[in-house]
Structure 1
Amino acid sequence: MIYCRRLDSGMQIIGAVLTIHGNALAGIAVSDGRTWTFTRDDGSFSLRTVPGRPVWARRPNGWTGRWWQHPAAGEPVLFQLHPSRTGSDPQPPSAPSGELRFAHITDTHVSAIDGDPSQAVELAARYGDQTDTTSGLHHALRTAADHGAAFAVITGDLTDHGTPEEFRRVLDSLAAAPLPVEIVPGNHDHYGHRHQPHPSDTPHGGGFLGAATLTRYEQAMGPRWWSADLAGVHLLALDWFSAWCAIDDTDQQRFIITDLATRTPGLPVVVLTHDQPDHDTLELIRYSAAPDSLLAVLSGHWHADAQRNVGGCHLLSTPAASFGGLDWSPPQLRLITLTPGLRTMDLRHDTIPALPKPPRSPTTSRADAPASPRTTSHSIGAHQHLGTLATIAGTVIAPSTDTHGAGHLTRLHPSNTGSNDSRVDVLWTVRAADDPITGVLAGHDQILACSHAGTLTALAPATGAPHWTRHLPHRQRRRLLATPILTAAGRLIVGDVGGVTCLDLDTGDIAWHRDQLGQVDTLLTYGTGLATDRLAVLPLGGPTPGLTALDLRDGTITWTDPPGTPPPSSSLVAIDGTDALLLRTAGPTLERLNLSTGQTRWRTTLTGRFSTAAPLVTDEAIVLVTGDGIAHRLDPDHGGILDRQHLHGLRPAYGPYRSTGTGAPTTAVHTPLGPMIVLLDGSIWQLDSPAGPLLVGDVAAPVTTQPVLLGSNTLVVLSTDAVVHLLDINATATRPMLAGPASRSAS
């Protein structure tokens, strides 16, 4: 008889691991995540555990089936496994021989809340559009299968509220999935006590992310950490949030040591976790896996794309599957392809859209008008997300990302822009970092590239030859989106809430470094700061400290936002010498503040969705555009709204926590015709036309990189497919109107 026997110190499990035909599987590891045993020759095992804790069998390569259970006293505990799709190789027939492809999906946030959005835990209450995340999960799994994935992994935040109903919806989706799916929990999966509290709840943890309860996930979904051998790799699955809450961090570290010491020798290790592990845990995994065996760590949590290679290990964070990311990334999943090499496993990866593409329609109903007047386009890479363009001596410096995720800079020289024989000459292209470039500066006879992971490279403008390269600390957790500050004294100020560094632009020497200005979590630092004669003022993400002033001499904090202040979402914009303008997430709101003290002069609530587009100061007003294309003009002295105008006919796109609408990730640009802005959907608008905002161009692709004006008549736009577009704005002054005047509403 296979049974569980309750003991004073817990429960003794007596069971077996068999094939579906009743044959014994010997040497199979069985665990509850804390205690371990191995099956005997007849497939039997004995394990001491505690009531309520799931027990699981570590699936050997080529086997799947019923691999975990909730043991109960007096009931059989039997794990029955069967060969996977094609024995030891689960690849679909379409895959090249020896190659494994699987999909990384994350942050599906399946929700049973269809009414009051204020019940949402995250910023969806502010930004959300009631996206159907259950449907989004179905689409993501179907997309993965259609692209040849043998299986999918979902790295946490399966649900939005962690309730039994949401877990049921996830299980229904997984049961109907066209491919096998492996899962681990995220912080939202441990929030059930917030929404359906029970007297037995004992939440643990705290801070910005709150506390966790664990039983709801375990009862519905099974083990919170586990391992398996699958298609030639060893999957090591962890519960990042319960460890973050210090509930079971020691238990999981012991699990890592035991599991990796007993795994099948030679298998490379792929870690599944909701967020990237802390430094000590990552080093423990690396050490326990043996040299060169840690292949990848797959995570999510930030709702933002991140990819880097540290010591041969791929650290990959994928955006959310059903709605746009906080870094303006579209809903997507990551395809990972593994190919056995002579000594190691080769890993390639690429992100693809997770949702069906919205129907393509013109921005307006203009059948006769060309998409964009006198535009010259030139491809420079595979893709480019975020970042900035720079100009120097009549040329453009543009970032791009190659198919391996490395960041490049290209110097382009346009000729005869606006004429029929216009062209673009490439002066040079250099690889500037191992990860995407998100900031470009030109000054002091240097070109500076700053990467997402904190690699700074100074280049010679004439040739692109590197002068110096520096790697900022904490590379595995860096997410730098903003261009560094260049001070009048030739110093660079670069960083985020995880640390700020001051360097000499000429030499790259570090003058000072200020570490850990606040708790590092998912509120990104979107904007670039400003420097006065004595301060560097940075719009840091959070949750703390927000807007922060550092002494330029040594990095000492001079002042910060008061606790509870909504985080900044844009760059600081100077006004009248002593003040600055800043957009904040709540509202959104625009404020004017004194740079020396941080004192707020005025604060105005705007209309529209989340935006990272900084305001633009003109001779007459402050101009900015919020999400869904709502243009505002404000009085600089008191912040009063002079008028609001809706830009009509925008194409469906996405935005943070949204799968609809469009947004303004980039700031308007000064031109001789007045401010122009490029929206996320690629439409280009002249904001100060006498007839109201006019559509003057369309690159027909998403844009998240900050455009720039070259000379006095060329607007340079870089779309996410890494195509540089040069628009002759002089032609827009005489061409027929492409769209009727935007609707106007009084303040």
Structure 2
Amino acid sequence: MHGTVLNEAGLPLPGIVVSDGLQVTRTDDDGNFQIDEPRGFVFVTRPAGWRTDRWYVDATEADPVFTLTADRIQMPFRFAHLTDTHLGSGAGYPQPVEIGTGERLSQVFRDIASAHPKLAAFVVTGDLTDRGLPEQFADFVAATTATELTVHSIPGNHDHLVPEPTDLISRNGYAIHSGEPRHYESFLGPRWYSFDLPGLHVVAMDWFTHELGLDHETQNVWLRADLDAIDPGMPWIMLCHDQPWRSILDGLPRAPIATFSGHRHTSRVVSTGATLHVNTPPAMFGGVDNSPATYRIVEWDGERITIDSQRTYPPRSDVRSLRANTVQSRWSRTTPAIGQRTPFIITGGRVVVPVAVDDEARGSLAAYDAGSGEPLWQAGLDSPLRSAPVTAGTTAIISSAVSGTTWAHDPATGETLWRRPTSDPLRRFGFYAPTLVDGLVLIGDQAALRALDQRTGETVWERSDIAPYQIFVTLSAPVVDRSGMAGSTPTVFWAGFPEPRTPIRLDPKTGETVLSPGIESADDLFRVLASGAGLPIRTPVVDPASGDLIATGVTSVFRRSATDSEMRWSYPTSVPWNPVSVDLSSHGALVVDVGGAVALLDLETGDQLWRTEVGAVSDECFLTYRRSPHPLFAAATIVGDRVLIPALDGDIVTLDALSGAVLGRFATEIPVLAPLVVHDDTAVALHRDGRLVAYPLAAFGGSLS
């Protein structure tokens, strides 16, 4: 192919990079380029300060001409990172789900552009559509016309769901599905390409076909040639649907300064070496990790990348202008844990609060005196902390950050006792609390579960054969069964969504399988997701008498046999992906249905003993695949024969544990996202504005003795 690149006056533009996704060349002094036997599409790497009439053509076009028009350069340069818009009907999910529509995406583009008048572009990193159908791509293309800003997009795995997908294990051991890219290309052109911002090069990849091995060698050759075509000192960033792994990043002439991804429906911002990895939740519904619908404003000032996380559907009330009602409190303390949804703990008279600061890729543990609220210490971590810390007696507080790094700190001083990096900083997503058993710390995921020595952090054993690497992050921790059903010694019991589909028992000392998983479901991932099968999505509890699992699943709470995985009973929840684990009390199994109710179930039969609707007017949403507000989010706190329920309207509701009767309602003014923790005669609450408050139990109504 012979082609030409001109400016708006018809004059040649030399030195413009042109590629067919494999070969990379530059225009000569006359603005001409030549690519022999081009493949697929031919595209220009759009230079900073120029816009194009079109940036790609079909490789069969004869003598194409690209016209570039000079555009104003604005620094710092800002773009909005969105991901996983999933335009579609929601078919194939446990209902009701609320994914994207073309009309809603159009409004999102308009709203973001209006809120950020200096914004220059949008970047959407895949899963633009839910099923890869032509009508869904047409909706996405139509939505981009709602904004005058440039929209850069790349495909995700859902954009390749044609024809009907089947489960498979990728060349890198990833449990994924089949697919092919024809519909994306028909509507949006090249699936990998590059463009320039002022002083910054941007590379976009098709992670899914790379992972499947359909074109990874071609993409790798092109990526290296593309980087070789720019100034060796020019920094660059990568757009990739999933967090890019070693299969993409290894062997490059230099590392990117940042990567931007989605796919996991989580918020995970970490640094590895010189690279900031920004994994962003879905733009139009809640994440699997219960992140709200999110977009990020990315700023490049010519030297560094910074991010500013924003909620796509913010609450109408601005908590920055409000304060919790602390008139009746014993003490109140401002903490850095703003918006933290993770449970905190009280140990040894200290309140220990996990902190996540995504925009700075850092986290910490902050300790306060439980009697006075006075700050005691703060320990910095290598990344945000999205899971609760646990205590190893009086000797250590152990936590696992989203990077997968596990930490042990001295409870009295916050001093780091040991730190154990993850086995794979790119693939490990740490979102559940460590499990402690017999001097060991269990941490990891289905593809790499390991046991660390509680005293030293040294690896005692590691299992990499339980299940292949998964699309969904692990939110269900292993649990310890001391019921004696598997013998006199305790065993580790593990099941989760989507793997292990049949619970597996391990010897905690060696990691060896005690009880074979048996026959697994033959359903593929999409059918498992649609059916809401009996797999824990949050850490289950073990019935101390029988060893059975009682767990929250995708569409229900259920009890599963400890011996043969038979479902004993199932109790439906009003919304899918209910984020709260089951609590066992002396009265039965307590279920918080965040759609608006609390129920007590008979532990043996699953029969409903009582159900109380908890009315609360809220404009908050933290639910997976949802954006409609809901009234409840945090787990209940059981105090004697009373149940304390924090609501998203800021009320703390007290119920009678025997009857479910409402005994009191205490208004705090600010939503409470984490469970209350009782210390002496107070209940400590962490509010969404980051304020930690100790309320007297007597303020909540009813006798709490």
In the alignment, which of 85, 97, 110 is matched to residue 108 of structure 1?
85
What is the number of equivalent residue pairs in this alignment?
A: 671
Q: What is the CA–CA distance in structure 2 between the aligned matches of 1:707 and 1:311, rounded to whole Å?
A: 38
Residues 504 and 511 of structure 1 are in contact (CA less than 8 Å); yes or no, is this contact kept in structure 2? Answer: yes
Residues 372 and 699 of structure 1 are in contact (CA less than 8 Å); yes or no, is this contact kept in structure 2? Answer: no
Q: What SS does the corresponding residue of 1:126 show, helix, strand or coil?
A: coil
Q: What SS does the corresponding residue of 1:351 show, helix, strand or coil?
A: strand
Deviation at 1:298, TM superposition (A): 0.4
Cα offsets for 1:519-576 (capped at 9, x unmatched): 3233232233322334212343335446432221221233447325543112222323
Deviation at 1:351, TM superposition (A): 0.8
Cα offsets for 1:662-696 (capped at 9, x unmatched): 27554322213522233556543323265624563
In structure 2, the partner of 1:485 is: 435
Q: What SS does the corresponding residue of 1:250 show, helix, strand or coil?
A: helix
1:347 maps to amino acid: I
Residues 520 and 542 of structure 1 are in contact (CA less than 8 Å); yes or no, is this contact kept in structure 2? Answer: no
Q: What is the CA–CA distance in structure 1 between the aligned matches of 2:369 and 2:134, rounded to whole Å?
A: 59
Deviation at 1:646, TM superposition (A): 2.3
Deviation at 1:591, TM superposition (A): 1.0
Residues 4 and 63 of structure 2 are in contact (CA less than 8 Å); yes or no, is this contact kept in structure 1? Answer: no
In structure 2, the partner of 1:54 is: 41
Q: What is the CA–CA distance in structure 1 between the aligned matches of 2:2 and 2:168, rounded to whole Å?
A: 32
Q: What is the CA–CA distance in structure 2 between the aligned matches of 1:48 and 1:203, rounded to whole Å?
A: 37
Residues 138 and 177 of structure 1 are in contact (CA less than 8 Å); yes or no, is this contact kept in structure 2? Answer: no
Cα offsets for 1:176-221 (capped at 9, x unmatched): 21422211111121225449xxxxxx99998854322212111111
Q: What is the CA–CA distance in structure 2 between the aligned matches of 1:618 and 1:31, rounded to whole Å?
A: 65
Q: What SS does the corresponding residue of 1:42 show, helix, strand or coil?
A: coil
Q: What is the CA–CA distance in structure 2 between the aligned matches of 1:550 and 1:384, rounded to whole Å?
A: 36
Alignment of 1:530-569 (within 5 A): 530-532=479-481, 533-545=489-501, 547-557=503-513, 558-560=515-517, 562-563=520-521, 564=523, 565-569=533-537
Write out the 4+ residue segments of structure 1 that deviate beyond 6 Å after TM superposition: 202-207, 369-372
Residues 400 and 407 of structure 2 are in contact (CA less than 8 Å); yes or no, is this contact kept in structure 1? Answer: yes
Residue 364 (structure 2) pairs with residue 394 (structure 1): no
1:314 maps to amino acid: L
Q: What is the CA–CA distance in structure 2 between the aligned matches of 1:691 and 1:586, rounded to whole Å?
A: 25
In structure 2, the partner of 1:94 is: none
Residue 574 (structure 2) pairs with residue 608 (structure 1): yes
Cα offsets for 1:691-719 (capped at 9, x unmatched): 624563455555544442223x3222323
Cα offsets for 1:488-530 (capped at 9, x unmatched): x222111222311111212212211112532323323223332
In the alignment, which of 441, 455, 462 is matched to residue 506 of structure 1?
455
Distance 1:682 1:440, change over 3 A: farther
2:134 maps to amino acid: P
Alignment of 1:351-366 (within 5 A): 351-358=309-316
Q: What is the CA–CA distance in structure 2 between the aligned matches of 1:145 and 1:309, rounded to whole Å?
A: 31
Residue 48 (structure 2) pairs with residue 90 (structure 1): no
**The 10-residue stretch of structure 1 (538-547 or 520-529) with the greater mean CA deviation from structure 2:** 538-547
In the alignment, which of 518, 535, 543 is matched to residue 575 of structure 1?
543
1:582 maps to amino acid: I
In structure 2, the partner of 1:405 is: 361
Deviation at 1:279, TM superposition (A): 1.6
In structure 2, the partner of 1:457 is: 407
In the alignment, which of 309, 319, 335 is matched to residue 271 of structure 2?
309
Deviation at 1:414, TM superposition (A): 3.9
Q: What is the CA–CA distance in structure 1 between the aligned matches of 2:495 and 2:334, rounded to whole Å?
A: 33
Q: What is the CA–CA distance in structure 1 between the aligned matches of 2:344 and 2:2, rounded to whole Å?
A: 65
Gaps of 5+ in 1: 1-12, 92-98, 196-201, 362-368, 416-422, 736-747
Residues 162 and 190 of structure 1 are in contact (CA less than 8 Å); yes or no, is this contact kept in structure 2? Answer: yes
In structure 2, the partner of 1:667 is: 635
Cα offsets for 1:702-743 (capped at 9, x unmatched): 5544442223x32223234433232322211269xxxxxxxx
In structure 2, the partner of 1:745 is: none
Residue 280 (structure 2) pairs with residue 322 (structure 1): no
Residues 387 and 439 of structure 1 are in contact (CA less than 8 Å); yes or no, is this contact kept in structure 2? Answer: yes
In structure 2, the partner of 1:648 is: 615
Q: What is the CA–CA distance in structure 1 between the aligned matches of 2:354 and 2:125, rounded to whole Å?
A: 30
Deviation at 1:598, TM superposition (A): 5.5
1:185 maps to amino acid: P
Q: What SS does the corresponding residue of 2:426 show, helix, strand or coil?
A: helix
Residues 616 and 622 of structure 1 are in contact (CA less than 8 Å); yes or no, is this contact kept in structure 2? Answer: yes
In structure 2, the partner of 1:45 is: 33
Q: What SS does the corresponding residue of 1:109 show, helix, strand or coil?
A: coil
Deviation at 1:455, TM superposition (A): 1.6
- State percent identity of aligned pairs: 26
Gaps of 5+ in 2: 482-488, 524-532
Q: What is the CA–CA distance in structure 2 between the aligned matches of 1:664 and 1:243, rounded to whole Å?
A: 41
**The 10-residue stretch of structure 1 (64-73 or 651-660) with the greater mean CA deviation from structure 2:** 64-73
In the alignment, which of 687, 696, 703 is matched to residue 728 of structure 1?
696
Distance 1:725 1:433, change over 3 A: farther
Q: What is the CA–CA distance in structure 2 between the aligned matches of 1:73 and 1:467, rounded to whole Å?
A: 63
In structure 2, the partner of 1:96 is: none
In structure 2, the partner of 1:163 is: 133
Residues 372 and 727 of structure 1 are in contact (CA less than 8 Å); yes or no, is this contact kept in structure 2? Answer: no
Q: What is the CA–CA distance in structure 2 between the aligned matches of 1:151 and 1:350, rounded to whole Å?
A: 15
Residues 57 and 67 of structure 1 are in contact (CA less than 8 Å); yes or no, is this contact kept in structure 2? Answer: no
1:297 maps to amino acid: T
Cα offsets for 1:278-320 (capped at 9, x unmatched): 2231223xx32x2xx5100100011110010000101110001
Q: What SS does the corresponding residue of 2:135 show, helix, strand or coil?
A: helix
Q: What is the CA–CA distance in structure 1 between the aligned matches of 2:36 and 2:667, rounded to whole Å?
A: 66
In structure 2, the partner of 1:739 is: none
Distance 1:606 1:545, change over 3 A: closer
In structure 2, the partner of 1:743 is: none
In the alignment, which of 226, 244, 247 is matched to residue 259 of structure 1?
226
C-alpha RMSD over aligned residues: 2.9
Residues 290 and 579 of structure 2 are in contact (CA less than 8 Å); yes or no, is this contact kept in structure 1? Answer: no
Distance 1:203 1:370, change over 3 A: closer
Q: What is the CA–CA distance in structure 1 between the aligned matches of 2:350 and 2:169, rounded to whole Å?
A: 53
Residue 432 (structure 2) pairs with residue 432 (structure 1): no
In structure 1, the partner of 2:526 is: none
Distance 1:734 1:706, change over 3 A: closer
2:180 maps to amino acid: T
Deviation at 1:466, TM superposition (A): 1.4
Q: What is the CA–CA distance in structure 1 between the aligned matches of 2:570 and 2:123, rounded to whole Å?
A: 44
Cα offsets for 1:123-159 (capped at 9, x unmatched): 4x43404664631453255325523332221101111
Residues 651 and 661 of structure 1 are in contact (CA less than 8 Å); yes or no, is this contact kept in structure 2? Answer: yes
Q: What SS does the corresponding residue of 1:217 show, helix, strand or coil?
A: helix
